[in-house]
Every structure is written in structure tokens, then in C-alpha cells.
């Protein structure tokens, strides 16, 4: 019994981290039709920046902020200087983001060496939460709380604000949205920066759980892709449910069949692509 | 058209003659081994080009077939006690079956979705190879002396092994060009350019693309078998996204949709990789920079890109007729 609860909470925590990564990825893909293959690299770079900020004396919370802002700025520069020049060439954009992912990954090895780096936990969240005989790290509960808060905030942004209405219009029909006078040249950078910031800050937040190591980027990126395939393109709810499903599968799989944890990831993909190629909550096929 | 194909045939003959003569021209095993690497990479790149160039389907998971075939070839002959020929046949057959499954899944989507699914499937395979250490050796990989001795020929000799791989390259060039010219290959190109029109004409676009996907997977498996024989070792790196990306770079660099573009691209990437690794360890960085540079500055590939550059260079100094004549002639290819 304890095992199922603990692993369920672990799955929830991992799914929460995935959601922070995948929600930005999904928004960018849904609106801009850019498959940002740098997204995993943003996540890793954000974590490394956070480590350096903490080493320089910043608190954990400031480090999250610095990680997020740094990656948002990087995202803005890449969007403005490179991706915008390739508007209307989705495949060229994908290849560029892949190239940038490699450059970032190698630069990280260069700067922070190839050794895995542990990320210190904020002192106020160290320790375990106890109920009956169960003990669960408080930090993981905190991460779950952050992801649910973020999900609510993003839902409010998308469903209840003017900016969100413009984003939803763009996701549904970009040309029609343009024709109605929505300025995509403003909308695109905002969404790309938002997604990048989430990836960067998410990397720092994930640090105490996953630690930071070369290869973290290519570990996380395919999971984000699977989440989007599973949940549906540009759907916030899809990204949320998809992240939790993958989080549970990964966590239980890791504990029950450590050798085959990755093999089990095929299962949701095979099921969804066979039965519902639009993803669980998507309105259009990917 | 006829002239163009004759020109290509002549070019192919010259290239093959040059490759056959290679071991006499360079006597160092080092260069022969690099040539062997190029041949294997060329087969893999040509198989990916069936999807990317002729099918318009950008796959970022083509290392799957290289890696799975390589793992199976080595595992079966070193751990399962299967003979050399049996291992090779089972490895290629099983990998082709895998391509059938992956093709079915990836072709549920098109364009960017196809790319995302192939990438995800490929990375899951990588994860399996990395984590399932009891079977795959994990990060340490699998290895063993597995080069076969067909008809008593010792393939441990680099020159003999080079000719061995060359046979497969010639077969690949021949059969892939036959495929491209066949009805299936032609309809694949039709489906690339006008999928809706092809559907309206009664073609089963899905089936055409799926068969092509399996065909590409089959040649990827052949490359994987040769890869296993060449290195006599395989690690999760063979399945990694960077391997898929390198292969895609070969195709894009050489020029998609041409028969020999991927061969040129394979040569460029393998040589670049070997030269660079001799001096610095920053291959991944360079790979990324080359990707970005090609997309930004030579989106049509290095071979057509250089041709375009040369043409503009020729055009620039003279606005007279003599400058435009040679440029017009080049259009025939």
C-alpha cells in the first residue's frame, strides 16, 4: 500500500515537472507551429544557470527567477534573430532549433564540465512530510503545488484574458486571426518567451529532484514530445493530463520494471496514435 | 532528361571506378577505414533520403534501424550462438518488422507530427538500450569479434572489408535508383508534392508512404549490420538523437531528392567528424553550428548550394551572353 502511494506521489511530482516543460512546448507548437527541439536544452541550461547563481550567493528562489529570465532572454534573441527569418518554413525552423540544442548542450559541457551537479534544496523545504507511517519529501509536494498553481494560472491567462483569447484564436486558425487584426508579430515573441521562461525556471525547480547532468536535455525532450502527442496540440488540459499520465507510467515503471521503464512509454503512444491520432484533447491531428 | 540520366550514369561509373581503385591509391589502413565508414554512412543516408528527399517525410529517428540492426547482429552472434549469416538475416528481418510498426505509428501524422513521433520513438529505443543493461550492456555496449568469413575471405583485412561494404553500396545505389524510378517511387514523389491530388486520383497515399518507410528501414538495417561488422561494437550512441541528426545532416547537406547527394553528404560529414575529432573534442558544437549555417545560408544543400554560388560568381563579373551560356547548360542535371 505504502509503495503505491509513495510511487504515485513520485509520479505526480515527476509529472508536475514534465508539465512545466511541456506546457510551454505545447503552447509554442500550437500557436507558432514551431517544434522547438531546443526546449530540453533550455531546461538544462536554466538549471545550470540556477546552479551558478546559487554558487554566486543567490537564494534558491532568486536562482529560479534568474534561470527563467535568462532563458526567456535567450529565447527572445533566438526568436527575433533566427526563427522569424524562417517564418513559413516549419522544417527549416525545426532543424535550426535542433542545431541550437546541440550548441547549447555542448556549451554546457564546456562551461560546467561533464560531471553531474547536485542542486541544493531550499532549507525551508528540506525534510519529509509524515502521515501515519508514510514519509514523503516536502520539496516534492511543493513542486506538485507549483505545477497545479501554474496550470491554474495558465488556464486563467488563456481563458480569461484578452491575450489568452488572441493566443487561442491563433492556435485555432492563424490566418483568420491575422485577418481579424491580431498582431502575430507581437504575440509570437510573447508566447515564445513565456515558454522559454517556463523551461528555464522549470530546470532550476527540477534540480533538487533530477540533479543536472549532460544529457538531461535529451532525456526530457522526448518526454515532452510524448506528452504533446498524448495530450493533443496546443491544448493546456492535454499537456496537463498527458504529463501526469507519463509521470505515473514512468514512476511506476521505474519502480516495478527498472529495465523496461522506457519500453512502457511505447504503450501510451501506440494506444493514442492508433485510437485517437489527435491526442486526447487535441482538435486537430498533429 | 535522357541526357541527364546518361550524365548521372557516367558519373556513377567514374565514382565506382574511383572507389574500386581507392585501396591501390592510398595504402594506409587509416584512410581505408575512413572510406569504409563513408560507404556505410552513405547507405544509411541514402535510405533516409528515400523518406526525406523523395517522400518529403523528415524523420529524426533513422538511427533506430542502424542501432537495432547493429545490436541484434552482435547480440545474436556473441550471446545467442547464432551463426553469422543467421544473425545478419534475423537482424535485418526483425529491424524491417520494427520499421513496419514505427511506420504505422509515425504515418498517423504528417509533417511536423511525423518528425516528433519518429524522434520520440527513436529516443525511447535509446532509453531501452541504455537502461536495459542485462540485455544490452547499458552504457558499456556490446562487442565481440563478429566479422564473418564468407567463402574463406578474411574480412579482418581492412581492404577486404572495404570491398565487402562497397558491394552493399553498389546494391543500394542500384536498387534505390530502381525504386525511385519505379511506379511506387514515382507515386511517392507525387504524394510528396500533391498528396490531396494523388488521393483524388485514387492512389493510396498512406500505403505508398508506409511501403517506402519500410523500404528505407530495410536499408537502414543493412547499414546497421555493416556498422556492427565494422566497429564490432555497439553502444546506445548508435541509437541516439545525435546519430539520427548526423544522418539527416548528410542528406540535407548533400542535397535532398538527388540520388548521389547523400553519398556526398556522408563523405563530408564523416571526413569532417574524423578531422575534427583529431584536433578538438567539440564535435557536437560543430554539428549544431553546421546545422544552423546550412539552414540559414544553404537551405537547398551543399551540392546545389555550391552550384548556385558558382553560378552567381560567374554571372556577376559579366553581364554578357558568354557568361549566361554555361549556366544554362548546367540546368540539364
Counted across chains A and B, CB pairs separated by less than 8 A come out at 137
CA distances from A75 to A41, A78, A128, A167, A281 (A): 11, 5, 36, 18, 27
Instruction: Write out the three cell numbers for A227.
Output: 506528452
Mean pLDDT score, B209-236: 94
Q: Give A115→chain B minimum CA distance, Å.
A: 16
Place of cell 486526447: A280
| Better-scored residue on pLDDT, B223 or B284 | B223
Instruction: Write out the three cell numbers for B328.
Output: 544554362
Check: CB of residue B251 under 8 Å from CB of residue B52. Answer: yes
A96/B296 CB distance under 8 A: yes
In whole angstroms, what is the distance from residue B207 CA to residue A38 CA?
33
B291 and chain A: CB distance < 8 Å anywhere?
Answer: yes
Q: Does the pLDDT value for residue A204 go beyond 90?
A: yes
pLDDT tens for each residue of B9-24 = 677 777 777 777 777 7
| Better-scored residue on pLDDT, B328 or A171 | A171
Query: Which chain B residues are closer than 8 Å to A106 by Cβ?
Result: 282, 284-285, 288
The per-residue pLDDT for B324 is 33
B116/A265 CB distance under 8 A: no
**pLDDT bucket at B1, cuts 50 / 70 / 90:** very low
Check: CB of residue B181 under 8 Å from CB of residue B41. Answer: no
- Exposure of B211 by Cβ count < 10 A (0-12 exposed, 13-18 middle, 19+ buried)? middle
Q: Does the pLDDT value for residue B92 go beyond 70?
A: yes
B292 and chain A: CB distance < 8 Å anywhere?
Answer: yes
Query: Which chain A residues are closer than 8 Å to B290 by Cβ?
Result: 99
The per-residue pLDDT for A52 is 95
Average the pLDDT over each of A64-73, A141-150, B69-78, B286-295 and give the range with the smallest value. Answer: B286-295
Check: CB of residue A85 under 8 Å from CB of residue B288. Answer: no
Mean pLDDT score, B178-199: 90
The closest CB to that of A100, out of B131, B252, B292, belongs to B292
Question: Residue A84, Cβ neighbours under 10 Å: how many?
Answer: 14
**pLDDT bucket at B111, cuts 50 / 70 / 90:** confident
Q: Which residue of B has its CA nearest to A272?
A: B105
Domain spans in chain B, listed from the N-terminal domain onward: 28-299, 302-333
- Looking at every residue in chain A, the average pLDDT score rounds to 89
Query: Which chain B residues are closer than 8 Å to A87 by Cβ?
Result: none
**pLDDT bucket at B303, cuts 50 / 70 / 90:** low
B299 and chain A: CB distance < 8 Å anywhere?
Answer: yes
- Looking at every residue in chain B, the average pLDDT score rounds to 84
B21 and chain A: CB distance < 8 Å anywhere?
Answer: no
CATH number assigned to the domain covering B28-299: 1.10.3470
B113/A106 CB distance under 8 A: no
In whole angstroms, what is the distance from residue A150 CA to residue A240 CA?
10
Average the pLDDT over each of A61-75, A107-121, A128-142, A232-246 and give the range with the smallest value. Answer: A128-142
Q: Which of A229-238 are b and which e, b meaning 16 or more Cβ less than 10 Å from the residue's Cβ?
A: bbbbbbbbeb
Mean pLDDT score, A273-283: 80
Tell me, rounded to whole angstroms, the distance of Cα B257 from its chain centroid. 12
Q: Does the pLDDT value for residue B315 go beyond 90?
A: no
In whole angstroms, what is the distance from residue B170 CA to residue B283 CA?
30
SS3 of residue A136 by DSSP: strand
B245 and chain A: CB distance < 8 Å anywhere?
Answer: yes
Q: Which domains, from first to last, does chain A contain?
A: 2-275 (1.10.3470)
Q: Does the pLDDT value for residue B48 go beyond 90?
A: yes
A135: which strand partners? A130
In whole angstroms, what is the distance from residue B258 CA to residue B270 CA?
19
The closest CB to that of A262, out of B128, B240, B284, belongs to B128
The closest CB to that of B112, out of A94, A109, A262, belongs to A94
Q: Which residue of A has its CA nearest to B121?
A: A266
Q: Considering chain B, what percentage of its residues have pLDDT values greater than 90?
A: 41
CA distances from B323 to A21, B171, B307 (A): 55, 40, 15
SS3 of residue B212 by DSSP: helix
Q: Considering chain A, what percentage of its residues have pLDDT values greater than 90?
A: 52
The closest CB to that of B285, out of A106, A228, A259, belongs to A106
Nearest to B290 by CA among B328, B325, B329, B249: B249
In whole angstroms, what is the distance from residue A101 CA to residue B240 CA?
14
| Better-scored residue on pLDDT, B304 or B3 | B304
Mean pLDDT score, A228-253: 90
Mean pLDDT score, B152-179: 88
Q: Does the pLDDT value for residue B124 go beyond 70?
A: yes
Q: Does the pLDDT value for residue B320 go beyond 60?
A: no
Q: Which of B181-209 are b and which e, b meaning 16 or more Cβ less than 10 Å from the residue's Cβ?
A: eeeebebbbbbbeebeebeeeebebbebb
Q: Give B127→chain A minimum CA distance, Å.
A: 6
The per-residue pLDDT for A157 is 92
The closest CB to that of B120, out of A33, A226, A258, belongs to A226
Taking only residues 90 to 129 of chain B, the set having a beta carbon closer than 8 angstroms to any beta carbon of chain A reads 105, 108-113, 115-117, 119-121, 123-124, 127-128
Amino acid at each position: 500500500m505504502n509503495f503505491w502511494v509513495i510511487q504515485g506521489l513520485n509520479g505526480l511530482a515527476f509529472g508536475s515537472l514534465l508539465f512545466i516543460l511541456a506546457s510551454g512546448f505545447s503552447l509554442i507548437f500550437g500557436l507558432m507551429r514551431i517544434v522547438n527541439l531546443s526546449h530540453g536544452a533550455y531546461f538544462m541550461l536554466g538549471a545550470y544557470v540556477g546552479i551558478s547563481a546559487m554558487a554566486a550567493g543567490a537564494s534558491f528562489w532568486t536562482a529560479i527567477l534568474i534561470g527563467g529570465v535568462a532563458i526567456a532572454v535567450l529565447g527572445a534573441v533566438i526568436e527575433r534573430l533566427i526563427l522569424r527569418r524562417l517564418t513559413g518554413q516549419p522544417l527549416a525552423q525545426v532543424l535550426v532549433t535542433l542545431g541550437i540544442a546541440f550548441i547549447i548542450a555542448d556549451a554546457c559541457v564546456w562551461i560546467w564540465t561533464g560531471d553531474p551537479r547536485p542542486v541544493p534544496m531550499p532549507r525551508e523545504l528540506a525534510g519529509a512530510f509524515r502521515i501515519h507511517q508514510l514519509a514523503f519529501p516536502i520539496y516534492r509536494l511543493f513542486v506538485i503545488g507549483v505545477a497545479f498553481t501554474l496550470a491554474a494560472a495558465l488556464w486563467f491567462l488563456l481563458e480569461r484574458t484578452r491575450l489568452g483569447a488572441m493566443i487561442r484564436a491563433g492556435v485555432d486558425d492563424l490566418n483568420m486571426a491575422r485577418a481579424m487584426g491580431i498582431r502575430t508579430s507581437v504575440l509570437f515573441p510573447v508566447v515564445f518567451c513565456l515558454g522559454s521562461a517556463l523551461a528555464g525556471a522549470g530546470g532550476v525547480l527540477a534540480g533538487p529532484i533530477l540533479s543536472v547532468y549532460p544529457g538531461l536535455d535529451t532525456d526530457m525532450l522526448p518526454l515532452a514530445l510524448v506528452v504533446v502527442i498524448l495530450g493533443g496540440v496546443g491544448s493546456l488540459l492535454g499537456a496537463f493530463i498527458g504529463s501526469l499520465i507519463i509521470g505515473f507510467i514512468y514512476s511506476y515503471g521505474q519502480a516495478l520494471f527498472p529495465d523496461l521503464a522506457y519500453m512502457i512509454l511505447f504503450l501510451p503512444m501506440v494506444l493514442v496514435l492508433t485510437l485517437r491520432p489527435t491526442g486526447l484533447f487535441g482538435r486537430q491531428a498533429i | 532528361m535522357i541526357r541527364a540520366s546518361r550524365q548521372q550514369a557516367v558519373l556513377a561509373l567514374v565514382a565506382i571506378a574511383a572507389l574500386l581503385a581507392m585501396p591501390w591509391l592510398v595504402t594506409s589502413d587509416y584512410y581505408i577505414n575512413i572510406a569504409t565508414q563513408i560507404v556505410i554512412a552513405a547507405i544509411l543516408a541514402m535510405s533516409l533520403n528515400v523518406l526525406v528527399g523523395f517522400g518529403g517525410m523528415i524523420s529524426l529517428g533513422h538511427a533506430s534501424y542502424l542501432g537495432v540492426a547493429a545490436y541484434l547482429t552482435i547480440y545474436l552472434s556473441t550471446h545467442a550462438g547464432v551463426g553469422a549469416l543467421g544473425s545478419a538475416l534475423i537482424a535485418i528481418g526483425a529491424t524491417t518488422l520494427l520499421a513496419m510498426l514505427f511506420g504505422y505509428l509515425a504515418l498517423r501524422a504528417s509533417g511536423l507530427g511525423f518528425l516528433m513521433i519518429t524522434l520520440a520513438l527513436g529516443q525511447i529505443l535509446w532509453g531501452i538500450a541504455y537502461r536495459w543493461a542485462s540485455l544490452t550492456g547499458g552504457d558499456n555496449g556490446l562487442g565481440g569479434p563478429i566479422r564473418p568469413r564468407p567463402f574463406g575471405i578474411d574480412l579482418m583485412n581492412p581492404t577486404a572489408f572495404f570491398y565487402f561494404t562497397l558491394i552493399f553500396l553498389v546494391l543500394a545505389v542500384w536498387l534505390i535508383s530502381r525504386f525511385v524510378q519505379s511506379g511506387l517511387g514515382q507515386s511517392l514523389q507525387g504524394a510528396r508534392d500533391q498528396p490531396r491530388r494523388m488521393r483524388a486520383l485514387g492512389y493510396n497515399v498512406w500505403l505508398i508512404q508506409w511501403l517506402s518507410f519500410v523500404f528505407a528501414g530495410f536499408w537502414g538495417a543493412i547499414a546497421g549490420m555493416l556498422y556492427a561488422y565494422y566497429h564490432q561494437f555497439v553502444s546506445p550512441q548508435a541509437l541516439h538523437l545525435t546519430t539520427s541528426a548526423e544522418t539527416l545532416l548528410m542528406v540535407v547537406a548533400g542535397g535532398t531528392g538527388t540520388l548521389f547527394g547523400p553519398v556526398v553528404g556522408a563523405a563530408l560529414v564523416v571526413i569532417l567528424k574524423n578531422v575534427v575529432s583529431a584536433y578538438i573534442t567539440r564535435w557536437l558544437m560543430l554539428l549544431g553550428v553546421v546545422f544552423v549555417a546550412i539552414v540559414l545560408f544553404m537551405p537547398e544543400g551543399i551540392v546545389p548550394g555550391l552550384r548556385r554560388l558558382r553560378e552567381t560568381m560567374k554571372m556577376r563579373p559579366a553581364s554578357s551572353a558568354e557568361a549566361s551560356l554555361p549556366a544554362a547548360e548546367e540546368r540539364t542535371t
